[in-house]
Amino acid sequence: MKKTLILIFFVLFGFVLNAQISLGPKIGYTTLKLSVDQSDITTDMKNNFLFGAFVRLGKKVYLQPEINWYTSGTVFKKVSIGSLSPFEQEVTLRNVQIPVFVGLRLIDLKLVNIRAMAGPTANIVVDKKIETTQTGNYTEPIKETDIKDLHWGFQLGAGVDVLMFTLDVQYMIGLNNLIGTIDVGGSPVQFDSKKNGFVVSLGWKIF
């Protein structure tokens, strides 16, 4: 991890010295889902807003680090687990996301250009909330301690720039588990829950 951060620093430093720079705020809309590796447990998509800022370094090929704030989560539903009672829990997470995208300008029409980008994202959970529908012999199979504070993802997508506005559409792929194996009524249940979904954002290049 330390070597990766050092490498990112030097790459950013090189771009700052030689590249065209633009930056600005952005807002967005996320449609995300926490998957689960259990066919008898269902989850749903959650839609929320995203707020952040970006820096773009470069022109034809560019580097774009960002910092974003957004809310994610899902509702886990289980009819039964063997002899155990069903459960329903809504998990809501507030996150700080730090993506670093490498992009390529595919079409440049001066006032309008079309881009492609991809890169890793670090997602830091800063607040966790679990609401449980009380039913049966147990009511809270998922605890806050079962949810990791840091998880990694990868995003890829395309974007369009029109004058000073920049529109991006990306797909987020979870790389590691947000929720691993949990204890449900004394029995281990492998959730292997990852965050996946779409992010649509609109940015304003202030210079």
| CATH number of the domain where residue 133 is located | 2.40.160
Residue 131, pLDDT > 80, answer yes
CA-to-CA distance for 28 and 24, rounded, in angstroms? 13
Q: What is the mean pLDDT of the chain?
A: 86
Question: Whose CA is closest to 38, among 201, 203, 194, 207?
Answer: 194
d(CA 15, CA 188): 48
How many whole angstroms separate alpha carbon 8 and alpha carbon 12?
A: 6
Residue 103 lies in domain: 2-204
Q: Assess contact for 56 and 65: CB atoms under 8 A.
A: no
Residue 68 is predicted with a pLDDT of 97
Q: How many domains does the chain have?
A: 1
Among all chains, which residue has been given the structure tokens 């029409």? 109
Q: Is the pLDDT of residue 155 over 80?
A: yes
**Coil, strand or helix: which one is 80?**
coil
Q: At residue 19, does pLDDT exceed 80?
A: no
Q: What type of residue is 194?
A: K
- CA torsion 29-33-34-38 (nearest 10°) is 180
Query: Does residue 22 contact residue 204 with C-beta atoms inside 8 Å?
Result: no
pLDDT in tens, 85-124: 678 889 999 999 999 999 999 998 888 999 999 999 999 9
Q: What is the pTM of this model?
A: 0.83
Q: Give the model's pLDDT for residue 169.
A: 97
